[in-house]
Each structure stands twice: as C-alpha cells, then as structure tokens.
A and B are shown apart, each in its own frame.
Chain A
Amino acid sequence: MYLYDDIDQRLVDERVRQFRDQTRRYLAGTLGEDDFRPLRLQNGLYVQKHAPMLRVAIPYGLLSARQLRMLAHVAREYDRGYGHFTTRQNIQFNWPALEDVPEILAALATVQMHAIQTSGNCVRNTTTDQFAGIAPDEIVDPLVWTELIRQWSTFHPEFAFLPRKFKIAVNGAENDRAAVLVHDIGIQAVRDDAGTVGFRIVVGGGLGRTPMIGHVIRDFVAWPHLLTYLDATLRVYNRFGRRDNKYKARIKILVKELGPAEFARQVEEEFAAIAGGPGTLTEDEVARVHARFTRPAYATLPAVDADFEDRRRSVRAFGRWVARNVAPHRVPGYAAVTLTLKRTGVPPGDVTADQMDAIADLADRFSFGGLRVTHEQNLVLADVEQRDLFDLWNRLVPLGLAVPNLGLLTNIVCCPGGDFCSLANAASIPVAAAVQQRFDDLDYQHDIGELDLNISGCINACGHHHVGHIGILGVDKAGEEWYQVTIGGRQGNQAAIGRIIGPSFARDEIPDVVEKLVTTYLRLRDSEAERFVDVVQRTGIAPFKESVYAHAD
C-alpha cells in the first residue's frame, strides 16, 4: 500500500469538506441540478434508476485489509450489505442515499480512500497489472508510477473538464495484463539499453461505441518526463478533442481524425516547449513515493514446498484450483492467489459485507494485509506462502471464493447492466447467470479451456465485450432487449477487437448460442492447446456463424 503523508490526507479531507458543502447547497436549492451534476460525478456519484450509485476509487487496484473492512462497513451502514467490484479496479455501491454520501466519503477518508474522479470528464483511476510488483515477468514495478500519475491527475486544474472521460493504464511486465492497447493512454514501462526506465506511450485505444486499438506515439519517454509528456498529450486533446458530439469526444476519435502521426507531431511540439519545467520528476520524489509503499517482509523459503507439491497431486480439487487460480511470484516460496468473484447465480464482481470481512481476515493472515482488485473483477491475495496454500484453499471453499474458473468460460466479466444502470439497454447479470448455469460442470469447463466471456449491457462497454473471446452486448431494438455476439476479441499483447457474428438474439437464446460456439470450437480445435480464440483466428468466424445460424431459415 501507498501510505498517505499529511499532504495526501489533507487533500482528501478538504475534498470531503468541499463536497459536503456542494451537497448542502444542492439540497438547499442554491446549487442547480445542471451545475451540481458534473461536481457529483467527479465524486463518483451517479443518479441511477433506483437510487444514486457511488463509485469509490481503489487506486491501481491496491487495497488493504483495513480498507476492505471499511468498505464492508459502508456496505452495511449505507447500502444493502454488498458492493460491486468494477472493471476499473474500483468498487460501486448501488443503494446509498444522496444525503449520506458526504458521511460515507468522510468515513472512507479515515482509511485513506476517496471517490475522487471516479466519474466525469476527467482523468479516471489509473489501472495496472494486478500482479504489479510480484510478477516474475516484470520489467519495471508500475506501482510507483501509477501513484505518481494518481497525484498528478488528482484535481489537475487544466484537465478537470476534458471533452470526455479519460482512462490511463500502466503495464510494467512483458505480458500486458493492464490492457494498455485499449486505453485513452496506455503506458508500457520499458528499460533502454543502459537500463534506464522509460515509457512507451500508446494513445487512442478504447472500447465503447467505437472500439479501437491504440497507436504508439512515442517509443521511449525517459522517466523524469513522464508527467510533462502526459501534460502535453492531454493538452492537445483538451484543446482539439471534439465537444460537439459526446460519442465522438474520446481521444481515439481525435487521433483517428488527425491521424496518429499528426497527433504525435502536435504532442511533440507541445512537449518540446514544456519539457524540463517544474513538473519534471526527480530521483528524490521517485524514491520518496517508492518508500511510502509498504513492502512485505518476505521470509526466506525454498522455491518448492514438498508438502504443497504432494497435496496438489493428491487432492484433485485443490490441484485444479492451484492450476487455475494460483500464479507464480518473483519471490521463492510465494504465490499470488486469485479469489474469483464469479459464483453461478451471483452478479460478477459482487461481494457481501460478510465476505469482505472474511477476505480481510484472510489477507491479514496469509498475505501481509494486502489485496488487489483485478480488472476482471476478482480479488488477489498477492503474497501467500506456498506452504499456506492448502490451508487458505480450505478456508476459501466455504466462502464460495475458490471456484477454479479463472480464465474459463464461467469467469465472466460483466457490467451491472439494465437492472441497476440507467445507461444500459439490456440486463447483463441474468445473462451471465444463465450462461454460468449452462456450463456449471467444472470438468466440461476445464476441457473447454481458456475462454474469456465478457458481457456489456450497452455500447459503453463497461463489461469490455469487445475484447472477450466471446463478447455479448445488450442492444435496444424498439424497446426490447436483444444481444449481439462477437467472437475473436482478446486482451493482452495481441489485443484485438471481436467481430460480430450476425443478427442479434433474444435473451433466452444466449446460452444456446454460447454452447453452439463452444461445440464448434471443440470440433475444430487441433489439440487441447489450441484455445477458442486461436481457432477463431485460424478459421475465421464463418464456421461459427454457420453453426449458430444454421437452423434460422
């Protein structure tokens, strides 16, 4: 965890005071609805179908046990006893009352949390790899840089009212686990030949209505200049991004209309004029931020624990969970454990207050009191000793948090959808539940192998359906809920946007459609090693389309 100093704490406290006053003025009628809306959005507060929705920031997905207990408290006191982890590594509460929100924010501030810029046309929570700092394939630890970006973006006076929301992701490993190719700005940390840290800057990626893969506009920005380079990039966007049509206001449209080369030229011109200014980072500051992150005091352990190896072979269910949900760690004898929040029948990403408390206890007991939220809406205990894994697994199973489906079909990424969100065209959570029920057989899931299924209730694509191997999108046709299906999307280093297979479907047809896609894949694959998405790439969408629509005439 990054621990606040007095400046960090003061800013959050002053934000609570400011928002308390804004809410008071709104309720008193002296601050009009139109003037209040952008202010509440920049504090994560939406007005939804049933009640306001409050989105609380979890910067770069890092969360302490103490903070999770506070979230449980908020869920109990101000909500209906649960919260929803989002694809932006944040948490949402769907039922708080508007007049309670200042109190909630004040409570969160006591554990160094806030809801600053979790919505609105400003720089949002910067996300990163859930295995930041512990991944064996890491080139640069991205956490220091995401915190520096958090500070830079918080109340940035020039960029508080951008044309549209702005999302930044940082990846520090060889494998991209932060989706840098589909962000407004994706930052890939690299080292040059001399070992100096720098960043490759990708701009104009994104999902939503117009999915696009981003363009590299600079191969290497040396670390002292990261924030001024961001200033230059955002400034070009702020001045020239479209404001006449909200659907064309994201930076990807500007990059497309200017062309990546011309956009890059304008950024370079701006950067050349401001580089070396007071925003230039110093070694002292990087060291200071680095030192304010708590670091686990790792024990010296053998790389392989014999008991653990025995158990994973002898206890089949445990072995299966290890194979799917346990990731390697750079420190010998440790592992990272993903707690999947994707039980059948439970909305993806939802956690009850009691589960939060139980998870906080497990984090204290097994993982130095730390947790990460993943952009696939799961939680990670990042620093677990191998020899504790069996004990941990035994405790996770009764909590329903050890479903070994990570990377499998039922580990569905899904937005709240039409049941909760006023933007949605269609329900998404019942669709996820129906698919999970159809594929409830774990053996069958493991046989199918790696398959990302993503569901969004509308074109805003909060469920990231474009990068799902199978993507499902809720669409509105004359007031009815329909679902469009894409296949072949993927995230990571070879990120790609899925292709639509044909006309959309009624809600109750979706499990059949997914099943037909899966059986077609199983028929076509050349071995178990060839994943669904690999087959789609090899064969194209035609055979899948044929099997799904074959009976339609």
Chain B
Amino acid sequence: MPTLIDRTGVRADDWTLFDGDASALPADAKVLLPLDAWREYRDAWLARGTPVGVILGPADDPFVLKDDLAKLSLIAVRFPHFTDGRGYSIARQLRQRLGYTGALRAVGDVLRDQIFFYARVGFDGFALRDDQSVDDCLAALADFSEVYQASSDRGPAFARRAAAGVPAVTGTTVTRTRTAATTESVAP
C-alpha cells in the first residue's frame, strides 16, 4: 500500500479501495469507490452509515458529484502517470467551482517533483509512489517560497505585493550620453 502523507508527515491510511466485492468489507470500513460504483449504488452506500469516498480517474467529470459533496468524506484523484495533468484541473474545479472543502487526495504516480503543484491546486493528501522518500516529498512542499498566480492555496503574488506596499511606481528610466555607456538607475 502506498505511503500516505499530508503537509505534516505520514498519516495512517484507513480507507479501503472498493474492488467490486461488497461482502468482503468489514461493517465499519471507510470505503473509497470508483465513480461508477458510487453512481450505481449511491443510496446503498450512504445507507451503510460509514464514511464514503470517491476516486476519480483522469477522464472522469467532477461535476457529477456536485450534489453529493457534503456526503463524501474523501475525494481521491488518480494520476496514471505524472505527466497526465488532467487531475490538476479536476482538483481546481472541485475546489474553485464546486466549493469542495473536504479531503482531497492525489493517488497514483505521485512524485516529489510534482508535489508542490499538487498542494497548490488543492490536494491535501498524497499517496506516494512506492519508491518515493517521505522526507524528500515533505521538503518539496517548500520548493518555492512564493508563487505568481492564484490557485487553491493562495491568491496571486500581486495581491501580496500590493499588501506589502511595494511602490507602484519606481520611476525607472534609462539614460544615455552620446559618448559613454548606459547607466541604469534602478529605484530600490
């Protein structure tokens, strides 16, 4: 089973991925369901009274969960390969458009060199590929100390620049004399 981490370190993974055989599940199991299994027997799963989650594949449409978000205790998004970036937009749509605030987990080919991006688009749990070092992955969450664009984790750099009172006008001009080289006068 892949190691699960969040921002703080390793977490126990007490979810069971549904493999098609409901009879084998302990009565109190927290079950993670592929989208089809959820859609087909949604009411039966909810009737169990135990926490239920859904795992989305890269081609799945997150909007089909629109009315069920409050009932789900976990949404996982599967990355079949780390270069398949569809899951990033799925996460953004869940957070930004659907307002999902629950647990959101990246699973599959989840590697330290992408973990900064996963965290930015709204994932808060990371089920690591087997060969990944937990310490490296935790360190990678701090690969960059700033970000330019708005995403699920924070607003754009320009909002922080404005809040920090970075002067809007620096008055930067370049002058030249006809004989000497350029001097750049750069405001602090």
Contact = CB atoms under 8 A, between A and B. Distances in A.
Judge: A and B partners, yes or no. yes
Contacts of B97: 273-274
Nearest to B146: A7
Interface string A56-95: 0000000001000000000000000000000000000000
Given A235-B89, A291-B170, A227 B149 contact: yes
Interface string A273-301: 11001110110110110011111110000
Given A5-B166, A284-B168, A291-B171, A160 B114 contact: yes
Interface string A317-346: 000000000000000000000000000000
Interface string A234-269: 010011000100000000000000000000000000
Contact of A38 (B83, B96, B173): B83
A261 to B, nearest CB: 21
Contacts, number: 156
A152 B147 CA distance: 9
Interface in B148-173: 148-151, 155-159, 161-162, 166-173
Scoring B148, B151, B167 by chain A CB atoms within 10 A of each residue's CB, the highest score goes to B148
Contact of A157 (B88, B174, B182): B88
B145 interface: yes
Interface string A148-189: 000110111111111000000000000000000000000000
A159 B85 CA distance: 7
Given A157-B121, A238-B88, A294-B174, A278 B155 contact: yes
Most buried by A among B85, B145, B146: B85
B84 A161 contact: yes
Contact of A35 (B88, B113, B159, B178): B113
Contacts of B96: 273-274, 277
A293 B162 CA distance: 18
Given A14-B143, A291-B171, A368 B89 contact: no
Q: In which size bucket is the chain B interface?
A: 35 or more
Contacts of B184: 294, 369
B174 A295 contact: yes
Nearest to B176: A368
Contacts of A370: 174
30 contacts: A7-B146, A7-B161, A14-B143, A65-B182, A121-B85, A151-B148, A154-B148, A155-B117, A155-B147, A157-B120, A157-B151, A158-B89, A159-B85, A160-B85, A160-B114, A239-B89, A277-B150, A279-B150, A279-B156, A282-B158, A288-B158, A291-B170, A296-B176, A297-B173, A297-B174, A297-B175, A365-B176, A368-B182, A369-B181, A369-B184
Given A155-B117, A159-B85, 4 more contacts: A14-B145, A121-B85, A155-B148, A235-B92
